[in-house]
A and B are shown apart, each in its own frame.
Chain A
Amino acid sequence: MLRYILKRLLIAVPLIFGVLTLTFFIIRLAPGDPAAFFIQPGISPNVAEQIRQQYGLNDPLPVQYIKWLGNVLHGDFGRSFSRAQQPVVEVIAEALPVTMTIAILTLIANFVFGIIIGVISAVRQNSFLDRFLTVTALFFYSMPEFWFALMMIILFALKLPLFPVSGLNEVGAESYGAFGFIMDRIWHLALPVTVLSINGSAGIARYVRGSMLEVIRQDYIRTARAKGLSERVVIMKHALRNALLPVVTLMGSSLPFIFSGALFIEVIFAFPGMGRVTVEAIFARDYPLIIADTFVSGIMIVFGNLLADVLYAVVDPRIKL
Chain B
Amino acid sequence: MTMKTNKRVARLLSISLLAAATLLSACSKHGGKGGSLSGAARDTTLVIGMLGDADYLNPVIGASLTSSEITGLIYPGLLQGEFDTKTGLVNYLALEKRLRPSSGNPDERSPKSALAKTWTMSPDHRSITYILRSDARWADGQPITSRDFKFAYRLYGNPVIASPRQQSLAELVGADKGQVDFDKAIETPDDTTLIFHFYKPVPEHLALAHTSLTPLPEHLWKNVKPAEFRESKLNQQPVGAGPYRLAEWNKQQTLTLSSSVTCNLPKPGNIKRIIYRVIPDYTVRLAQLQTGDVDVVENVKPEDFPAVQKANPNVDLKTIGLRVYDYVGWQNIDGDYYNQTGKLRPHPLFGDASVRRALTLAIDRQSIIDGYLGQYGVLAKTDISPSLKWAYDDSIKPYGYDQTQAVRLLEQAGWLPGPDGIRQKNGKRFSFVLCTNAGNARRNYACTIIQQNLREIGIECKIEQQETNVFFQNLQERKLGAWMAGWAIGLEIDPLDVWGSDLKKSRFNFPGFINPRIDQLCELAKSKMRTEDARPYWVEYQKILHEEQPITFLYWIRETQGFSKRIQGAKLNISGTYYNIDDWTLKPSVAP
Contacts and interface: CB of A to CB of B under 8 A. Distances in A.
Interface string A30-53: 011100111111111111001101
Interface in A249-289: 267-270, 272, 276, 280, 283, 285
B404 to A, nearest CB: 38
A267 B281 contact: yes
Contacts of B515: none
B288 interface: yes
Interface stretch (B2-10, B191-199, B425-433, B443-451): B2-10
Contacts of A153: 283-284, 287
Contacts of B30: 174
B36 A285 contact: no
B17 A108 contact: yes
A172 interface: yes
B27 A185 contact: yes
B588 interface: no
A161 interface: yes
A105 B9 contact: no
Contact of B284 (A36, A38, A269, A311): A269
A157 interface: yes
Interface residues of A, number: 72
B166 A267 contact: no
B5 A315 contact: yes
Contacts of B284: 153, 165-166, 268-270
A83 to B, nearest CB: 7
Which among A44, A79, A86, A98 has the highest number of chain B CB atoms within 10 Å? A44
B123 interface: no
A163 B251 CA distance: 24
B35 interface: yes
Given A38-B164, A276-B280, A104 B16 contact: yes
Given A153-B287, A171-B47, A182 B24 contact: yes
A31 B20 contact: no
A181 interface: yes
A82 to B, nearest CB: 8
B20 A101 contact: yes
B396 interface: no
A108 B18 CA distance: 12
Contacts of B41: 172
Interface stretch (B468-476, B516-524, B536-544): B468-476
Nearest to A165: B287
Nearest to A93: B26
A75 interface: no
Contacts of A154: 287
Contacts of A79: 231
A241 B26 CA distance: 34
A258 to B, nearest CB: 13
Given A270-B279, A283-B468, A50 B291 contact: no
Interface in A93-148: 94, 97-98, 100-101, 104-105, 107-108
Contact of A44 (B1, B170, B311): B170
Nearest to B34: A172
Interface string A74-94: 000001001111100000001
Contacts of B293: 164-165, 171
Contact of B31 (A50, A174, A186): A174
A104 B19 contact: yes
Contact of A181 (B9, B28, B468): B28
Interface stretch (B155-163, B337-345, B527-535): B155-163
Contact of A158 (B19, B47, B311): B311
Contact of A317 (B2, B17, B28, B497): B2
B473 A158 contact: no
A175 B283 CA distance: 29
A12 interface: no
A7 B214 CA distance: 59
A150 interface: yes
B498 interface: yes
Contact of A41 (B275, B467, B497): B497
- Chain B interface size, as a band, is 35 or more
A171 B311 contact: no
B278 interface: yes
A311 B275 CA distance: 47
B279 A166 contact: yes
Given A79-B231, A175-B36, A104 B20 contact: yes
A108 B24 CA distance: 15
Contacts of B278: 270, 272
B177 interface: no
B473 A47 contact: no
A314 interface: yes
A208 interface: no
Contacts of A182: 24-25, 28
Contact of A272 (B17, B55, B253): B253
Interface string B465-485: 001111011101000000000
B159 A46 contact: yes
B399 interface: no
Contacts of A40: 508
A230 interface: no
B37 interface: yes
B586 interface: no
A167 B166 CA distance: 37
Contacts of A186: 24
A170 interface: yes
A154 B170 CA distance: 52
Contacts of A168: 27, 253
B23 interface: yes
A66 interface: no
Contact of B37 (A85, A97, A171, A317): A171
Contacts of A107: 16
B473 A101 contact: no
Interface string B265-288: 000000000010111110110011
Given A158-B291, A185-B27, A43 B231 contact: no
A38 B55 CA distance: 14
15 contacts: A31-B469, A31-B470, A41-B494, A47-B164, A82-B55, A153-B283, A157-B291, A158-B311, A166-B287, A171-B45, A182-B24, A270-B278, A270-B280, A283-B469, A314-B5
Interface of B: 1-2, 5, 8-9, 12, 16-17, 19-20, 23-28, 30-37, 41, 45, 47, 52, 55-56, 63, 159-160, 162-164, 166-167, 170, 230-231, 235, 251-254, 275, 277-281, 283-284, 287-288, 290-291, 293, 311, 467-470, 472-474, 476, 487, 490, 494, 497-498, 507-508
> Can you list the 5 inter-chain pairs with the closest CB atoms, starting with the nearest?
A32-B469, A50-B162, A272-B252, A44-B167, A41-B497
Given A153-B283, A182-B24, A272-B252, 8 more contacts: A41-B498, A43-B164, A43-B167, A44-B164, A44-B170, A172-B34, A172-B37, A285-B469
